[in-house]
């Protein structure tokens, strides 16, 4: 399924700006270890750390010495090694465990790798005014210091979980997120398109619109539509087996997204929701879109339901035929609004630039 035109990607980096696709070679993946109010995520984070570190470098930020000790114990509890050579620990103050959204956007600019720090305000305050975010807003600056990379500040509130790149000429996102007045008051779609083309070096911006019921991020793209190659996008689809029935609000969001993307000239594959599960007192559709792509692997949220987990794993193996696909139980995270992709932040390989020099 994946056929990447690296020649085109390389050409795009000379004298211009480009954001690599997630499936391109990575230098590392970064995570912010859960703090005191997110401790239920720790078993999941330990499993993610174990898998990621088998394939590539993993950088983990921790807020305090106590959190560092608890993180080490969590990894030891699954018989993995928290001090193995591929895991790097950094004491960097942070507020949450959702590093996709407050972490850096990495950009190649005139053959230089740079970090963009977009403003972060805890998802427009969707989770309450007592949810802190000032420390999270500084994380890209801290990573710039660790990696000795220049940091560009973008005075627009936005989260990387609402950005999908094909690595060449297109960014795809949900206007309902970046256009949210709680994030960017009086921000127009026309201005957003200008800004996105400027900061990301793309020639095409695909805006979908609409918010699935209960989605407090206001519809991050990584739960709706994902690039799996330069010209192919997977879009979620409601079925008669899911909570979101055909014709429902959510189905209309997904179906309209598929239509807009297809009309923009891309191939669309529909990813069916084939069931739902109950966790604590909540019901969730088995939406597997929030996967993470790394060097030789994909991690996919598991819902602990073999009837849907196994077919989903098979489908995603076809999307990424040259990568190992791992399922990790994410229900504690899903109950809080996200999954593996939301918890991670991928850093492109420096070698992409070095090989061109």
CA dihedral for 166, 171, 174, 180, sign (positive or negative): positive
Q: How many CB atoms lie within 10 A of CB 155?
A: 9
| Predicted pLDDT at 335 | 86
- Return the exposure string of 301-335: e unless at least 16 CB atoms fall within 10 Å of the residue's CB, then b: bbbeeeebbeebbebbbebbeebebbbbbbbbbbe
Task: State the average pLDDT for the chain.
Answer: 93
Q: How far is CA 10 from the centre of its chain?
A: 23
Give yes or no for residue 6 having a pLDDT over 70: no
313 closest CA partner among 1, 45, 305, 60: 305
| Predicted pLDDT at 4 | 33
Q: Backbone dihedral region of 254: left (phi > 0), alpha (psi from -120 to 50 degrees) or beta?
A: alpha
The full DSSP string for 166-214 is: -SSSEEEEEHHHHT-TTTSTT--HHHHHHHHHHHH--SEEEEE----TT
- pLDDT digits over 118-143, tens only? 999 999 999 888 899 999 999 999 99
For residue 160, CA distances in Å to 13, 150, 173, 296, 341 come to: 21, 18, 10, 22, 10
- Please, which pLDDT band fits residue 196 given cuts at 50, 70 and 90? very high
Half-sphere exposure (CA, 13 Å, Cβ side) for 34? Answer: 21
Mean pLDDT calculated for residue range 160-188: 98
Q: Which two tokens stand for residue 90?
A: 């950094």
CA pair distance 275, 309, nearest whole angstrom:
10
Phi, psi angle pair for 35, to nearest 5°: -90, -160
| Predicted pLDDT at 15 | 57
Structural domains in the chain, CATH included, are 6-348 (3.75.10.10)
- pLDDT digits over 300-328, tens only? 999 999 999 999 999 999 999 999 999 99
- Please, which pLDDT band fits residue 204 given cuts at 50, 70 and 90? very high
- Return the exposure string of 248-274: e unless at least 16 CB atoms fall within 10 Å of the residue's CB, then b: eebbebbbebbebbeebebebbebbbb
Mean pLDDT calculated for residue range 160-175: 98
| Residue scoring higher pLDDT (16 or 193) | 193
| Predicted pLDDT at 7 | 37
| Predicted pLDDT at 177 | 98
CA pair distance 175, 206, nearest whole angstrom:
9
- Please, which pLDDT band fits residue 353 given cuts at 50, 70 and 90? very low
Q: Which two tokens stand for residue 120?
A: 């972060």
- pLDDT digits over 72-122, tens only? 999 999 999 999 999 999 999 999 999 999 999 999 998 899 999 999 999
Give yes or no for residue 10 having a pLDDT over 50: no
- pLDDT digits over 219-257, tens only? 999 999 999 999 999 999 999 999 999 999 999 999 999
Give yes or no for residue 53 having a pLDDT over 70: yes
Element (H, E) at 284: strand 282-285
| Predicted pLDDT at 354 | 46
- Please, which pLDDT band fits residue 286 given cuts at 50, 70 and 90? very high
Q: How many CB atoms lie within 10 A of CB 239?
A: 15
């Amino acid at each position: 399924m994946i056929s990447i035109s690296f020649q085109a990607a390389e050409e795009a980096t000379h004298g211009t700006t480009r954001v690599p696709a997630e499936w391109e070679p990575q230098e590392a993946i970064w995570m912010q270890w859960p703090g005191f109010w997110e401790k239920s995520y720790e078993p999941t984070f330990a499993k993610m750390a174990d898998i990621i570190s088998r394939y590539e470098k993993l950088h983990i930020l921790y807020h305090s010495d106590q959190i560092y000790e608890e993180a080490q114990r969590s990894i030891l509890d699954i018989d993995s090694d928290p001090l193995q050579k591929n895991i790097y620990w950094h004491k960097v103050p942070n507020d949450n465990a959702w590093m996709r959204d407050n972490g850096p956007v990495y950009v190649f600019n005139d053959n230089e790798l740079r970090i963009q720090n977009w403003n972060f305000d805890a998802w427009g305050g969707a989770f309450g005014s007592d949810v802190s975010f000032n420390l999270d807003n500084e994380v890209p600056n801290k990573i710039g210091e660790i990696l000795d990379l220049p940091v560009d500040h973008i005075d627009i509130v936005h989260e990387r979980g609402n950005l999908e790149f094909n690595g060449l000429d297109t960014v795809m996102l949900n206007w309902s997120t970046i256009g949210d007045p709680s994030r960017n008051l009086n921000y127009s779609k026309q201005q957003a398109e200008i800004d996105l083309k400027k900061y990301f070096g793309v020639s095409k911006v695909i805006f979908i619109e609409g918010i699935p019921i209960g989605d407090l991020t206001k519809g991050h793209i990584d739960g709706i539509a994902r690039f799996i190659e330069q010209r192919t996008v997977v879009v979620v689809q409601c079925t008669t087996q899911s909570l979101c029935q055909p014709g429902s609000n959510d189905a209309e969001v997904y179906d309209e997204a598929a239509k807009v993307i297809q009309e923009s000239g891309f191939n669309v594959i529909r990813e069916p929701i084939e069931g739902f599960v109950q966790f604590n007192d909540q019901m969730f559709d088995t939406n597997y879109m929030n996967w993470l792509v790394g060097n030789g692997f994909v991690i996919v949220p598991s819902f602990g339901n073999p009837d849907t987990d196994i077919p989903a794993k098979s489908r995603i193996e076809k999307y990424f035929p040259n990568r190992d696909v791992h399922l990790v139980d994410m229900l504690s995270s899903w109950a809080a609004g996200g999954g593996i992709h939301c918890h991670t932040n991928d850093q492109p390989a420096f070698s992409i630039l070095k090989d061109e020099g």
